Amino acid sequence: MESNSLQPIVLSSMAERTKFPAPGFAGGLGDVRINGEKVDHRGQHVLERGDHVLVSMSGGGGYGPASARPRTFRPRDRLLGYAGRRG
């Protein structure tokens, strides 16, 4: 996200799973970054015009794009709700 506000704005974040990753094959830690710098994931931050905010959420239960799975798994994945009609 990029701030285009002419005035400073306040971002309040309450990101989860930044210390204890979600379960899953490749569960990872989430974080909040402003202009590429990691910031406190639970706090308020003043954004100036042009500042970039990146919120990374930890993943759980999934790994990679559904299209990378073997085609033979796709009907089962759809049946179990793991992928949509396109997956």
Q: What angle do CA 47, 14, 23 make, to 5 degrees?
A: 130
What proportions of the chain, in percent to the nearest 5, are helix, strand and coil?
15, 30, 55
Q: What is the pLDDT of residues 26-84, one digit of tens each?
A: 556 778 899 999 998 888 999 999 999 998 876 655 666 767 788 898 888 888 877 76
CA dihedral over 9, 18, 60, 26, signed as positive or negative: positive
The pLDDT, as a whole number, for residue 87 is: 42
| pTM of the shown model | 0.59
- Alpha-carbon gap, residue 8 to 1, rounded angstroms: 15
Q: Tell me the C-alpha distance between 56 and 84, whole Å.
A: 23
Task: Kindly state the helix (H) or strand (E) to which residue 79 belongs, with its residue range.
Answer: helix 74-79
